[in-house]
Structure 1
Amino acid sequence: MSNASPPSTATAVVFDMDGVIVESEHLWEELWTAFAAERGADWGSEQTRAVQGMSAPEWARYLADFAGTGESAEATEKAVVDGMVRALEQGRIDPLDGAPEMVREVSARAPIAMASSAPRRVIDAVLAHHGLLGHFTATVSSAEVPRGKPNPDVYLAAARKLGAAPERCLAVEDSSNGLRAAAAAGMRVVALPNPTYPPAADALDKAVFAAKDLYQVREYLLRGLSTKENR
């Protein structure tokens, strides 16, 4: 991992959502824990780490199996996603400090996309609620591709929707599996390490830059985007 200034050759940026745009990963864990507890199972940090980066169908299947009550993955996913939408409506999902400014400034320079493990309903609701949806050229949920993170599918799909070669994209991620997914797609990855679940060393090593906050991320992205004359 290098913290040097980026070459100004990127033409697009792809963002993760949870832990990059909004502070919401604690709510996913809260809802997974509550779902399991209501069924007599003790969900902990080991299980949270296991599902981070999974698509909604993948983590719902894992959670349903863990709870051991025979509920379908579809019903399990709906219960948790309903809880996330309620949390948003209750004002419990806030943007990270500097996220709205970053999205607006970067999208004014280059097309941006979102490659998130969150289901479509949550992505659209969160971005619309915070007035950010119109800044994204494309958004992709890992539920809409064959495999979730750490596989590169969601990032490759985002690049296709942007019409950008993956190697000309900068990606911003906070978690181990997200960093691995973006790197596997061939993108230059900017890490915003999750303070609660810090990325594993091997995942963090895949980043070209590790930022302390979103203000550093924004500065790095703006320096790394090529001007129209250089594209």
Structure 2
Amino acid sequence: MTIALEDRLVLEYDLVSPASFTALPHLVRLATSSTRARSLAGWILRRAAGHHGCDDLLAGCANAIAEYRALLDRHMQSRPADYLETFIALLAVMEQYHWAAALGDFTDDFYELPCPHCAVDVTVAIGDHGRYAAIRDWHLGDVDRRDLRPATPGELSGTGHWMYETAVRDSQGALADGITYLFGKAECPSCASVFSIADEYGSANLPILM
């Protein structure tokens, strides 16, 4: 099976299908020497969330997925040019689909989420233009900005701790710093309540299982 044929199997109509998972073990075998195969395998896993029947398909590929996870981790330790893409693929392998879909390089990242206390829509910015919570006005821009409060490394736990420690291990300073803000706290510009950015974003964006 060629990579071109696999492209058609997994990319047509932007759907995840049984054919995608049939191709997955073969892609993983090729992934050590093929950037395209490694990328396609990650594409399949990133789109597995919420698709009917994917749990059974994932279970059937458990050995290939475990091999792929180890391969991605080794690749990241080489500090490759595609580090962020690999990091995101590894999040998908860990079934952290909402972060795999949303995580950027923290140069110009924005997260939209409702305040858990007053339900107003809050824009959280983490990037070169600032690290703040604000109310987005389409004429005035981001108004009433409130500085974010980053988490300390010792405060991180679970997925946030893994993300931070992995980025530090691999000398990805900008990514590690951004993660401390992503898993930190924001102040709502409307009601001044303080809340966890990651908790609210995660609860608003967890995949709907079918």
* TM-score, scaled to structure 2: 0.30
- Of structures 1 and 2, the one scoring higher in RCO (CA 8 A, sep 6+) is 1
* TM-score, scaled to structure 1: 0.28
Compare CA radii of gyration and give the structure with the larger one: 2
